[in-house]
A and B are shown apart, each in its own frame.
Chain A
């Protein structure tokens, strides 16, 4: 075996570059920078003394001579007061936030890492603080200590400590259970090294996120306390106290109250925009563009519908797919998940699609009824015909008529694929009432019958169970019952037994086999397991890097694989009862489907590769009826 020579995915763009692409965050950053710069430079700016009274000019309006933003009831220059007040507000908010962050995070880390009674005591105390309405606790503290800016700062910090403590503790507890922390222990590291080396670096994101979300509040709340007259005391002034003073003059000179509020709004918007930007950066779920809503059906690119040429559908086929191409468009990269896939499915037959992860087998299956999430998936070409009707480009209501009715799905993970808040009976009923004009009671009777049919004991009782109350095997039986509900022509099963234990898998496979025989339903069965294929499928297609590389009857393909990938893939799998059989491995990794090599996709890992393999596109060679291989050397022995 040779050294692994695959290329690694390109490094992600730099953190700053990604932040820079977020225009809102940049805008927020600019606002914030401008305000902060003004506040810091206040002593250097040619501003009048903010406390110098000038009674003749009292309540001067905005844009009056000498007072750009007017003057207050003592004739003090508003511009100067705003700049100096911003300075105070920013400083107080920042100090409060840093204090809360340091104390809160420390409590959180200690509680999370020590666990046991330390955790119990600390977190109960934090819970008590959280049991107060936010501002009320601050008020109580200020009431005890007396009004004043420093006391307000103190109160606001205390009130915000729980947010840090809770967030940090939660993440710490999670991190402590991670495998890499266990690995560090086995590497001989002590508690302190683990805390500083393994846990702390992974805690930084949550601290940064909490800081950026609470900083805005803290500035608002300190301003609020000053507004109520409980924070900054004259002659000291922050934005909040200026607003409070201006309140009584609202009708006479509204600008005195409005301008400080506007500045607070601006500062907090800036902080929130930057905070959101930071969160998008450091929260991995958001960073990977993870929170994109998939549409109700896969997008079909316009030119796809025009490309419905290719071989005519087989006359006896119930479903025929021609040149299907489903691509993922992510970060300006095109991933060719499914490229040029064609096949026919006949009534009552079981067709297996075999491949490793990333081969495109599941995407092929999901494309058939437009269940590939868009974004990022787009069907860019091909044709899918069910009983002669073209499914690509079909309007959504028509597609929904077919889904779960004539063509039904069974998915892999039986826990995640059932709605956790609905009883399993209700979930089957939903399928029935959607497609058949029956009452709820009739549908329920039908559903219970189906549950009986998939051999769930006590079906009537179990119908009112929630998914989490069933075992994995039973959940998958519910999935099967749901698929059978409307007596479909085609069932598409996407790795339905992969998540199950081997004894349960055997039972479920037997059930599927029986049901199929009984009802003459066509079954498209997606799996990575040749063993399962040999049990269930009449024909099989093997996929690799988005393409079909070999097709044929199951017996033929297993006996005489004609594509090097199929042959070597089978040699990779240990077979029960043949421990002496030499295990072969395929060197390297499958190619990334956004950087596919020209020619044969398997060429880099193939032991029969010749120069011609790397030129042009390799067609699927016809090797006789229903038998083909995408290899230019398929005819060689």
Chain B
């Protein structure tokens, strides 16, 4: 297990490098003069020339990449001109709220999705299955940014159960209850689509596993149906479900962009949208790199969990 973990850890180095290459290439797609694009309305002849030199625009693409990567490794993600502060400071400040939001909805969608999927499979074609299948279909098809607006309209504006936006109350906020109170609606909205995906997958995987011969063996041993479903079927199903939960993290982190915008959540997603509209390219680049790196680590965790669940995967 440990050797697998170490080897798997070593394998993320090329992945991180690959991510940096792609981000670098995307930034190389910027039409026109990148230095001008980066500086936008802050461009003066002097700082443009300075930035051109910093970026190494007069050198070859490969050299540019080397310089750029070298800077990244030293923690130099450049400077946000619209905020007038280092990119890394801004990004790390906003990473926490985003991870909190994404983590909360990940927990939510895993619990809800697994529960819904198992109930659906066990009561296949029963009313519970039909109702859940319909709910999952609607959940999967709902634009989350629109759902967020509706929930705000109903629960915040109408019923006044939850705050409309933000992470803490402006006056007298700050405690854990205040945070959870603010977190509830956005986390739920963000979890809806992923819950649908996980519920669907759980249902079909459970149905598939329940047809396998070892389930018949378990029944032939006389164990109760509860044991058959939880101990034999669900455990085997989880082997296939865990990596998908890992991938869902990617959708949740991406979807956070909408949710943070709708609920004014002070995370990276909202920062990115603002940065794109103010053409603060370096801020976008830093945000994308950091979130992608987090995602790689989460997938690594999912992989290790799957490895623990399944003794058949090579050591």
| A binding-site residues for B, Cβ under 8 Å | 124-125, 127-129, 131-147, 216, 220, 223-224, 227-230, 240, 243, 247, 250-251, 254, 257-258, 260-262, 264-265, 268-269, 271-273, 285, 290-294, 296-297, 369, 371, 373, 396-397, 400-405, 408-409, 411, 413, 416-422, 430-431, 434-435, 466, 468, 479, 482
SS class of chain A's interface: helix, strand, loop or mixed?
helix
Which residues from B are CB-within-8-Å of A430?
218, 221, 223, 227
Complex Cα spacing A293 to B142, Å:
29
Complex Cα spacing A136 to B275, Å:
13
Interface size class on chain B is 35 or more
| Residue from the list B18, B277, B292 in contact with A136, Cβ < 8 A | B292
Which residues from B are CB-within-8-Å of A229?
273, 277
Q: Say whether A403 contacts B220, CB under 8 Å.
A: yes
Nearest residue (CB) in B for A141 is: B26
Complex Cα spacing A418 to B217, Å:
7
Q: Does B204 contact A (CB under 8 A)?
A: yes
A401 to chain B, nearest CB (A): 7
B199 to chain A, nearest CB (A): 14
Complex Cα spacing A247 to B145, Å:
10
B274 to chain A, nearest CB (A): 10
Q: Does B115 contact A (CB under 8 A)?
A: no
Q: Say whether A403 contacts B137, CB under 8 Å.
A: no
Q: Say whether A134 contacts B211, CB under 8 Å.
A: no
Q: Say whether B140 contacts A272, CB under 8 Å.
A: yes
Q: A133-B254, A143-B276, A421-B309 are in contact. Are A265 and B146 (CB under 8 A)?
A: yes
Q: Does B23 contact A (CB under 8 A)?
A: yes
Complex Cα spacing A268 to B144, Å:
12
Complex Cα spacing A632 to B284, Å:
88
Beyond A132-B19, A293-B122, A420-B311, 20 additional pairs, beta carbon < 8 A: A127-B15, A131-B292, A133-B249, A136-B291, A139-B257, A139-B272, A146-B31, A240-B143, A258-B149, A261-B150, A265-B143, A296-B228, A369-B220, A371-B216, A408-B221, A416-B214, A419-B214, A422-B232, A430-B227, A434-B223
Which residues from B are CB-within-8-Å of A139?
257, 272-273, 276, 284, 288
Nearest residue (CB) in B for A24 is: B137
Q: Mark B7-47, 1 if CB is under 8 A from A, else 0.
A: 00000001100110111001101110000000000000000
Complex Cα spacing A145 to B26, Å:
9
Query: What are 15 A-B contacts with C-beta separation under 8 Å?
Result: A133-B253, A136-B253, A139-B288, A146-B31, A224-B145, A227-B258, A243-B149, A250-B152, A261-B143, A265-B141, A269-B138, A371-B219, A371-B220, A411-B220, A430-B221
Q: Does B236 contact A (CB under 8 A)?
A: yes
Q: Mark B203-220, 1 if CB is under 8 A from A, else 0.
A: 010111011111011111
Complex Cα spacing A230 to B258, Å:
12
Complex Cα spacing A230 to B269, Å:
13
Q: Say whether A223 contacts B250, CB under 8 Å.
A: no
Q: Say whether B149 contacts A293, CB under 8 Å.
A: no
A558 to chain B, nearest CB (A): 31
Q: Say whether B19 contacts A131, CB under 8 Å.
A: yes
Q: Say whether A293 contacts B207, CB under 8 Å.
A: yes
Which residues from B are CB-within-8-Å of A292?
124, 207, 211
Complex Cα spacing A479 to B221, Å:
11
Q: Say whether B138 contacts A144, CB under 8 Å.
A: no
Q: Say whether A243 contacts B143, CB under 8 Å.
A: yes
